[in-house]
């Protein structure tokens, strides 16, 4: 698609706004959406004219391939408003690249960069009043693409819909998190789609996570599919382990998502002279470190929560409580990263991009 076309996005403004009905002090994550959405269809081998229009349900053929063969991908990102009312994105180029990597893996068309970026920028500007200033406030951004072509033949769709929707968010806090280390279930397998943000990855997690919830745990730390000896991700987040004063996290692979928060925390930790090792982490290492007192912290890393501390884990029906640490590495890194995102600290990495 040409830049000329994307610069002439059709914009249909909502006749009324929902913003006055929203309690911005008591937002539940991902449940409230702004007045508008961005949409661009792929038909006849090319992307069509994009449009921004009022947020509303839409119709799909019952035989649309997304329902039958699961061609669906998404991204998660955020925008922030500083004290000057300027809007900032955090590493949007990384989200764009990962989105298209997911599209390639799911046999879906890549979205042109100008469609993704300019569509997002125009949508944020139109619904800018929904982005509130102040530490802890943000706009959660959900770009996604689904297969809309009709027919139940098992092959890739020839038609797709790319959309962006916006949801105002407060600081995400899920309370104290205890995790169960997976001994049987796997999040992903070698050769599979674990590195893609495919909708099916998340659907497959729901059943084992529900079993963990019933056992009194909030999330699962996934292990490798072949041996269940290597620690991989925590729930829907990348995961870090602090043993003594070193942070450990698994390398990305076909099974592990290339998290943007993850790579940002690694770079930030190195800048702060915190030792980081990116390598396979064994379950046996974690258990041994917990038993001898060397395991200090476990925390998840992702867009929604940024950093989510884990207070304990269970493996083979043995529970290990982590020590309570003042001024933990998790809290330090979260504070420094969110200060950059909210433009309260200098962005020496060049991660923030003005809308």
> Average pLDDT, whole number, for the chain?
94
Q: Does domain 3-169 have CATH number 3.30.70.2740?
A: no
The per-residue pLDDT for 146 is 98
The per-residue pLDDT for 5 is 53
Query: 234: Cβ–Cβ under 8 A, 6 or more apart, which residues?
Result: 179, 219, 220, 221, 222, 298, 300, 308, 310
Give me the percent of the chain exceeding a pLDDT of 70: 97
The candidate with the shortest Cα–Cα distance to 90, out of 311, 271, 263, 297, is: 263
Asked whether the predicted pLDDT for residue 1 surpasses 70, the reply is no
Q: pLDDT, tens digit, for every residue of 289-300?
A: 999 999 999 999
Name which residue leads in pLDDT, 17 or 1.
17
The candidate with the shortest Cα–Cα distance to 48, out of 132, 157, 161, is: 161
Q: pLDDT, tens digit, for every residue of 35-52?
A: 999 999 999 999 999 999
Average of per-residue pLDDT across 206-215: 96
Q: What is the pTM of this model?
A: 0.95
Least confident window among 4-8, 241-245, 304-308, 310-314: 4-8
Helix, strand, coil % over all residues of the chain, rounded to 5? 25, 30, 45
The per-residue pLDDT for 172 is 73
Give the dihedral sign, CA 322/325/329/333. Answer: positive
Asked whether the predicted pLDDT for residue 200 surpasses 90, the reply is yes
Domain residue spans of the chain: 3-169, 178-341
**Domain boundaries 178-341, CATH class:** alpha beta
Asked whether the predicted pLDDT for residue 115 surpasses 70, the reply is yes
Q: pLDDT, tens digit, for every residue of 131-188?
A: 999 998 999 999 999 999 999 999 999 999 999 999 999 877 667 899 999 999 999 9
Q: pLDDT, tens digit, for every residue of 330-349?
A: 999 999 999 999 999 999 99
The per-residue pLDDT for 6 is 61
The per-residue pLDDT for 7 is 63
Average of per-residue pLDDT across 216-228: 95
Q: pLDDT, tens digit, for every residue of 59-89?
A: 999 999 999 999 999 999 999 999 999 999 9
> Is the fold of 3-169 the same as that of 178-341?
no
The per-residue pLDDT for 174 is 65
Instruction: Report how far residue 215's alpha carbon sits from residue 330's, in angstroms, rounded to the nearest whole number.
Output: 26
Asked whether the predicted pLDDT for residue 2 surpasses 80, the reply is no
The candidate with the shortest Cα–Cα distance to 34, out of 178, 115, 107, 142, is: 142
Instruction: Report how far residue 322's alpha carbon sits from residue 331's, in angstroms, rounded to the nearest whole number.
Output: 15
Model confidence band, residue 304 (pLDDT cutoffs 50, 70, 90):
confident
The candidate with the shortest Cα–Cα distance to 249, out of 219, 269, 220, is: 269
* Ramachandran class of 85: left when φ > 0, alpha when ψ lies in -120 to 50, beta otherwise: left
Q: pLDDT, tens digit, for every residue of 263-288?
A: 999 999 999 999 999 999 999 999 99
């Amino acid at each position: 698609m040409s830049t000329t076309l994307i610069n002439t996005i059709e914009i249909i403004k909502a006749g009324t706004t929902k913003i006055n009905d929203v309690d911005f002090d008591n937002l539940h994550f991902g449940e409230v959406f702004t007045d508008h959405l961005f949409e661009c269809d792929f038909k006849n081998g090319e992307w069509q004219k994009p449009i921004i229009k009022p947020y509303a349900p839409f119709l799909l053929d019952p035989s649309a391939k997304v329902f039958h063969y699961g061609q669906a991908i998404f991204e998660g990102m955020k925008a922030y408003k500083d004290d000057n009312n300027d809007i900032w994105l955090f590493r949007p180029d990384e989200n764009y690249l990962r989105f298209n990597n997911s599209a390639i893996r799911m046999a879906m068309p890549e979205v042109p960069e100008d469609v993704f970026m300019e569509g997002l920028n125009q949508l944020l500007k139109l619904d800018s009043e929904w982005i509130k200033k102040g530490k802890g406030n943000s706009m959660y951004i959900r770009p996604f693409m689904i297969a809309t072509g009709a027919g139940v033949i098992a092959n890739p769709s020839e038609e797709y819909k790319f959309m962006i929707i916006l949801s105002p968010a407060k600081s995400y806090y899920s309370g104290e998190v205890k995790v169960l280390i997976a001994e049987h279930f796997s999040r992903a397998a070698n050769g599979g789609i674990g590195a893609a943000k495919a909708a099916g990855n998340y659907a497959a997690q729901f059943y084992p996570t529900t079993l963990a919830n019933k056992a009194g745990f909030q999330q699962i730390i996934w292990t490798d599919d072949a041996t269940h000896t290597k620690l991989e991700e925590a729930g829907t987040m990348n995961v870090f382990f602090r043993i003594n004063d070193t942070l450990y996290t698994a390398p990305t692979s076909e099974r592990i998502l290339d998290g943007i928060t993850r790579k940002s925390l690694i770079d930030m930790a190195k800048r702060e002279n915190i030792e980081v090792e990116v390598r396979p982490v064994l379950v046996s290492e974690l258990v041994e470190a917990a038993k001898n007192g060397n395991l200090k912290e476990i925390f998840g890393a992702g867009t929604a929560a940024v950093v989510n501390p884990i207070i304990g884990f269970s493996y083979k029906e043995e529970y290990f409580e982590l020590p309570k640490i003042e001024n933990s590495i998790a809290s330090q890194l979260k504070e420094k990263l969110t200060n950059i995102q909210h433009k309260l600290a200098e962005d020496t990495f060049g991660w923030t991009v003005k809308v």
